[in-house]
Amino acid sequence: MSNHVCPWWIGYFLLIPFRRRGQNPRVILSPYVSAGMTVLEPGPGMGFFTLDLARLVGPDGRVIAVDIQSKMIEALRRRAQKAGVLDRIETRLVSSNQMGVQDLNGKVDVALAFYMVHELPDADGFFHEVFDVLKPAGRLLFAEPVRHVSEKAFAASLQKAEQAGFKVESRPTIRASRTAVLVKK
């Protein structure tokens, strides 16, 4: 898999309204996220999913968005402020080798890894970190782009996730994506 990180300026293109027609965040996330939950979103970019996550968790919930690019985090914060949901979102600038979210161990209900695992230098470490932060029976919604990640490479990632302790719960359909919902065993 590639370890090429999407440049920050591409984040603007990922926000285009047309994208919602095939990848509507509310439709994708609402089966897994509800009011009061704590959600971890690594690699949120400029917040295509983050703002809807914040609306779904409501005023008593929390979204922790971690990214390695400060310009992505800055744009996400501006968009969240404008949308009136910044108070529900915690942003963290992290390293490319580790998220550094040990303070969340056992406290996260759902994690969303959307189109970002293929950019990581250590997918094994990533799946272990996510496993650790999830509550028992917590879920990881994991999706990769079909244009960048082959079925074989996606299967290899699923194997790494299973080695970290996850079990594949389902394989929902999301346009242009290879997708799995993983549950903490």
What would the mean pLDDT of 20-43 be, rounded to a whole number?
A: 92
> 53 or 46: whose pLDDT is higher?
53
What is the CA angle 93-85-88, rounded to 5? 60
For the ranges 14-18, 100-104, 179-183, the lowest mean pLDDT is seen at: 14-18
Bridge partner list, 92: 66
What would the mean pLDDT of 52-76 be, rounded to a whole number?
A: 95
| C-alpha–C-alpha distance, residues 85 and 46, integer Å | 14
| C-alpha–C-alpha distance, residues 182 and 15, integer Å | 26
- The single residue listed with the structure tokens 């890894």 is 113
Confidence of residue 136 (pLDDT cuts 50, 70, 90): very high
pLDDT of residue 46: 84
| C-alpha–C-alpha distance, residues 170 and 180, integer Å | 6
> Phi then psi for 161, rounded to 5 degrees?
-65, -40
The answer to whether residue 17 scores a pLDDT higher than 70 is no
Write down all domains in the chain, each with its CATH number in brackets.
Answer: 22-184 (3.40.50.150)
Lookup: tokens for 147? 């244009």
pLDDT digits (tens, 9 = 90+) for 33-50: 999 999 999 999 889 899
The pTM score is 0.89
> 21 or 63: whose pLDDT is higher?
63
Cβ burial of 178 (10 Å; 0-12, 13-18, 19+) is buried
- Count of other CB atoms within 10 angstroms of residue 108: 23
| % of the chain residues with pLDDT over 70 | 89
pLDDT of residue 1: 40
What would the mean pLDDT of 52-78 be, rounded to a whole number?
A: 95
| % of the chain residues with pLDDT over 90 | 78
- Count of other CB atoms within 10 angstroms of residue 133: 23
Q: What is the mean pLDDT of the chain?
A: 91
Confidence of residue 15 (pLDDT cuts 50, 70, 90): low
| DSSP string across 100-160 | --GGGTT-EEEEEEES-GGG-S-HHHHHHHHHHHEEEEEEEEEEEETTTS-HHHHHHHHHH
